[in-house]
Structure 1
Amino acid sequence: MAKIYGRADTEKRLLDKLPKEVKSIDDMDIVKKEFKKQYHSIEDKGLINKFSRWRKKRQINKIQNNKDTPLHSGTKGELRALDTLSKLDDNHHIFCGVIMELPHYVTYNGKKNLKSAQMDFVVVSKRGIFPIEVKNWTDTYIFKHRANGGLEPHEQAERAGRVLWISLKSWRDPKQPMVTSVLLTLQGNMKYNPTYKFVVVKDLITINQWIEKRKEIFSEKDVQRIVDRIKDHVTK
C-alpha cells in the first residue's frame, strides 16, 4: 500500500461545516440518526428542554443541509480516488490536499497571473511526479460550470502542474523534476483536450496501471528529496 500524507481537502472543508461528532463522511447518517433519537427523547416543555431540542435540531439540519451538495459529491469522489491510489505499492507516496504558493506571480498562457495552486493529490515515485485533479462532475454540472465562466478542469490541472514544477525546482537533484499533470474523471465524461496537450486524462480503472507502467526516472534519493519538499504542504 502507498504511503499517504495528509487528508483530502474537500473532506476537511465538509467536516468543518458539520457537528464535531461527525469524524468522517461515513459518519453523517449514523450521527444524524443518533441526534434524531436524542431530539425525540427530550421532553418538549420547559425553557431548558426547548433550548436543548433547538440545539439538537440545528445539528441535525447542519448534516442534512450538507448532504448531496457539490462539496459532498466532491468529497465522495476524492475519497474514492484516494482509495484507488492507495492500492499502489509502498514505493509510491500520496500527498493529499497539497497547497503551493510561489513568492511571485509567473506567466501562464501569456499573462502574469499564476501564483498558487491547490492539488487534490500528488503522487510521487521513481516513475515521476503526478499532480492529480479529481472531478466527480455530472454533465449537467459541467455545463453550469462553463456557463458561469469557471476554469476548465484541464486548465486547473495544467496550472497546478506548473506551480508544482516551479515549487520543486532546486539547486539539488532533481533540479528540474519531471511533473505530469493528470485530470482524473470519475464519471468518464471528460476527454483529452489538445488545447492542454500536457494534461493526461485518466479514470479510476486506468490510473494505477498507467502510473505503474511509467519508466523509472528518479533514484531513491531523488524521491526522498521530492517528498521532503512536498510533505509540509498537505491538508491536515
Structure 2
Amino acid sequence: MSKYESAKQQIISNHTKLIEKEKADLEIQIADMEDSYSKTRNDVQNQKETRISALNKQINDLPETNSKIIPTVIDYYRNFIIWMKIWSTQLSFHSKLKSLDRLGLDIASQEKSRLNFLNLNFDYAVGESCSTELNALLRRKNVIEELENFIYGAFGEYKVVKNLETLSDEFILVNDFTCRFQPAIYNRKENDYIKSVQVDHILISRAGVFIIETKNWSEKSISNLNFHSPVRQIKRANYALFKMISDGISNSTVRLNKHHWGDRKIPVRNLIVLINKRPTEEFQFVKILTLPELTSYVEYFPPIFSIEETRSIADYFIKRSNTINPANQISVHDSPYRQ
C-alpha cells in the first residue's frame, strides 16, 4: 500500500472512531435528558399530590357544623375556600404537567434526529466528516507528484543533453523550445488549431532537424491511460514547426542555397527518448529510442546542408523561441546543463 493510501485509510479510520464516539455520546445525552425530564415530571406530580393532600387535611380538620347559623355559614365558607384552592392547585399543576409533556415530545429532538441519521447513514457521515482532511491530503499528493514529475523530467532532459554533448560542433541544440502562433496554425487533417508548441529539445544538424521529447517514465507510467500520448504530442509539434520553417524558407528568413530543381525541403524528424523503459511497439512517423541509442541514430543520416545553412536554420529557431535569448546560438557544447 502506498503512503497516500495508508494515510487515507488512517484518516478514514480516525473519523470512523469520531462518528462512533459521537453516536455513543448522543445516546448518553439523550438518556440523561430523558432521565432529567422524567425526574422533573415526577417532582411536579409529587408536589401536586403533596399540595392536594395538605388541602384535604385542612378540610378534614374543619369543625363539624352545628345548628347555629353563623358558625355554620363560616364553616361552609372555609370549606369552599379550601375546595377552591384544591381546584386551583389541580388546574395549576395540570397546566404545568401539560407543558412538561409538550416539552417531553421535543426532548433531545435534535440529538435524536442526528443519532437516527448516523444510524441510517453511517458511512456517509464518516465520509462527510473526513472530506476536508482527505481533500487536503489529495492536494498534497498532487503537489508531490507534480514536483516528482518535474524532477524526473528535468533529470531526464539533463541526461539527454549530456548524451548529446558527445556530438560534434556541427550539431546545434536548442533546449526548452516554446513558440506561440498568432494566428493559430490550423491542421486540417486533425481539425486542430495549434496556438503554441513546447519541445524539450530541437537538434539542428547538417542532416536536418530532430524534434526530441524526453520521457523519464517507468513501465507503469507507459501503460497509464491517463498520461498524454507523447506520440500525439510530438506529431502535433512537428506539424507546427514544419509549417513555421516552410514559411521561413518562403520569406528567405532561413537562407538555403538554391537548387536548380526547385525549393529545398528541411527534413524534420520526430524522436522520443525514454530514459528507463521503452514500449515494444513502433509508431508511424515517430522513432522511439533509449538514451544509449540517441547519438548513433542522429549521426546515421547523411549531411545535406552546409554548416552555414545549418546555422541559418538554428538562428531561425532561436529567434522564434519565446524562451531563449535570440542573441544566443547554442551548440551541444554550449548547453546550460554543462558544468
TM-score, normalised with respect to structure 2: 0.46
Whether 1:166 and 2:243 are equivalent positions in the alignment is yes
Tell me, in whole angstroms, the C-alpha distance in 2 between the residues paired with 1:108 and 1:192: 27
3-state SS, counterpart of residue 158 of structure 1: helix
Whether 1:230 and 2:317 are equivalent positions in the alignment is yes
* Greater relative contact order, per chain length (Cα 8 Å cut-off, separation 6+): 1
Tell me, in whole angstroms, the C-alpha distance in 1 between the residues paired with 2:279 and 2:216: 10
Give how far 1:68 is off.
Answer: 6.8
Contact (CA 8 Å) 1:96, 1:234: kept in 2 or not? no
- Can you give the 5+ residue segments of structure 2 that lack an aligned partner in the other structure? 1-143, 257-263, 325-339
Tell me, in whole angstroms, the C-alpha distance in 2 between the residues paired with 1:111 and 1:153: 19
1:113-133 Cα distance to aligned partner (Å, 9 max, x none): 323211100111101100100
1:160-187 Cα distance to aligned partner (Å, 9 max, x none): 1111111111223446421001111111
Residue equivalent to 1:131: 211
Residue equivalent to 1:152: 229
Residue equivalent to 2:58: none
Contact (CA 8 Å) 2:278, 2:290: kept in 1 or not? no
Give how far 1:234 is off.
Answer: 6.2
Moved more, 173-182 or 79-88: 173-182
Tell me, in whole angstroms, the C-alpha distance in 2 between the residues paired with 1:105 and 1:99: 15
Tell me, in whole angstroms, the C-alpha distance in 2 between the residues paired with 1:108 and 1:75: 33
2:190 partner amino acid: G
Give how far 1:228 is off.
Answer: 1.1
3-state SS, counterpart of residue 205 of structure 1: helix
Tell me, in whole angstroms, the C-alpha distance in 2 between the residues paired with 1:117 and 1:108: 17
Give how far 1:85 is off.
Answer: 0.9
Tell me, in whole angstroms, the C-alpha distance in 1 between the residues paired with 2:281 and 2:272: 9
1:56-100 Cα distance to aligned partner (Å, 9 max, x none): xxxxxxxxx699711111111110111001111111001000012
Tell me, in whole angstroms, the C-alpha distance in 1 between the residues paired with 2:290 and 2:173: 17
After superposition, the Cα gap between the structure-2 partners of 1:181 and 1:208, relative to the gap in structure 1 and judged at 3 Å, is same
Residue equivalent to 2:160: 81
After superposition, the Cα gap between the structure-2 partners of 1:108 and 1:202, relative to the gap in structure 1 and judged at 3 Å, is farther
Tell me, in whole angstroms, the C-alpha distance in 1 between the residues paired with 2:188 and 2:175: 24
Tell me, in whole angstroms, the C-alpha distance in 2 between the residues paired with 1:87 and 1:178: 22
Residue equivalent to 1:186: 275
1:160 partner amino acid: A
1:235 partner amino acid: T
Tell me, in whole angstroms, the C-alpha distance in 1 between the residues paired with 2:292 and 2:190: 35
1:223 partner amino acid: T
Give how far 1:204 is off.
Answer: 1.1
3-state SS, counterpart of residue 102 of structure 1: strand
1:157 partner amino acid: I
Tell me, in whole angstroms, the C-alpha distance in 2 between the residues paired with 1:211 and 1:81: 13
Q: Which has the higher helix share?
A: 2
The correspondence for 1:98, drawn from 177, 181, 187, is: 177
Contact (CA 8 Å) 2:235, 2:270: kept in 1 or not? yes
Tell me, in whole angstroms, the C-alpha distance in 2 between the residues paired with 1:96 and 1:190: 25
Tell me, in whole angstroms, the C-alpha distance in 2 between the residues paired with 1:81 and 1:221: 25
After superposition, the Cα gap between the structure-2 partners of 1:66 and 1:140, relative to the gap in structure 1 and judged at 3 Å, is closer
Structure 1 residues 2-81: aligned runs within 5 Å: 69-81=148-160
TM-score, normalised with respect to structure 1: 0.64
After superposition, the Cα gap between the structure-2 partners of 1:234 and 1:123, relative to the gap in structure 1 and judged at 3 Å, is farther
After superposition, the Cα gap between the structure-2 partners of 1:158 and 1:191, relative to the gap in structure 1 and judged at 3 Å, is farther
Contact (CA 8 Å) 2:199, 2:212: kept in 1 or not? yes
Larger Rg: 2
After superposition, the Cα gap between the structure-2 partners of 1:225 and 1:151, relative to the gap in structure 1 and judged at 3 Å, is same
3-state SS, counterpart of residue 296 of structure 2: helix
Tell me, in whole angstroms, the C-alpha distance in 2 between the residues paired with 1:114 and 1:98: 15
1:183 partner amino acid: I
